[in-house]
Chain A
Amino acid sequence: MSLVARHLEANGIPTVTFGTAKDIVEHCGVSRFVFTDFPLGNACGRSFDSVQQHEVIELGLRLLETACAPRTTVQTPAVWSDDDSWKQLIFTEEQPFLSGEALENWLAAKQRYRDKKSKGEL
């Protein structure tokens, strides 16, 4: 995602990236970044909370209007829950990230990638 944002910026189209993985987006480096400290999946605000979703989007719009240099990050004030156990458990042996069908789909997608690569399609 960040790589595409960078390409659009380099070619004159301003972008703002909404994300929940602060380190990954900032490691790549984008022009403007709205960080929400939520579990992976709801970068534009809590599900079915249109008020909060507007607050998140509005921060991005203000960033478009006011940021004067790249790598500008703002963090939304949204808090997922009082209980931060999701932060402790994500990507741990105790709580596998993918399981069952999702894990099989991921492994199958990896294999399709290898197949396409070996055929020179990628």
Chain B
Amino acid sequence: MSEHVRYIDRTRDYYLSQGYDKPYEWAHHTDAPFAPLPKPLAECRVAIVSTSDIAIKSPDGSRDRSHEFGVGNVYSLPSDTPLDLLYSRQEHFDQHATTLEDVNSYYPVARLQELVSRGRIGSLAPRFHGVYTGYSKRKTAEADAPEVLRRCIEDDVDVALMTPV
């Protein structure tokens, strides 16, 4: 098994080669906050927070091709949205190696519903949340993250699963 990809180095070199001379500065911290699990998972209400650009198809089954999204604010989806109505608008994944056709491979809603049925986790929050990335670390930290927190508190969320693409 070869070593994992070093994306910070790889993307810096790649975008330099593409003519972008100002390397992206990835968020960096030496510490990290830590909240202990407050109660057994079987009693916890769980939410997904995702940057997978998850979206709901139109009633006629069509997908949003406008791409007007992608720069904006936090949005939420009902956690009981039927699986066949969900899709990802995200294009920033390894399109040469894989696909986003199976929502559960990056937004594991069906797996969580099964875990609720088995009693492994208590329940799902009524809403799951989407966050757009890649435009401003400051805005993510100062506006989007507090908004996700506000919605999670509003829904009495005990645990959040974070799923990027």
Residues of A in contact with B (beta carbons under 8 Å apart): 1-19, 21-24, 27-31, 35, 37-48, 50, 53-54, 57-58, 60-61, 64-65, 67, 69-71, 79-80, 84, 86-87, 89-93, 95, 97-98, 102, 105-106, 108-109, 112-113, 116, 122
Contacts and interface: CB of A to CB of B under 8 A. Distances in A.
B160 A105 contact: no
Nearest to B108: A44
Contact of A14 (B38, B95, B115): B38
Given A57-B108, A109-B71, A70 B31 contact: yes
B139 interface: yes
A4 B136 CA distance: 13
B59 to A, nearest CB: 24
A31 to B, nearest CB: 5
B23 interface: no
**Main SS at interface, chain B:** loop
Most buried by A among B17, B30, B164: B164
Given A3-B137, A27-B27, A70-B31, A44 B107 contact: yes
A4 B41 contact: no
Contacts of A1: 49-51, 131, 133, 162-164
Most buried by B among A13, A30, A60, A64: A13
B159 A48 contact: no
A43 B93 CA distance: 11
Nearest to B41: A61
Interface in B15-36: 17, 26-36
A106 B92 contact: yes
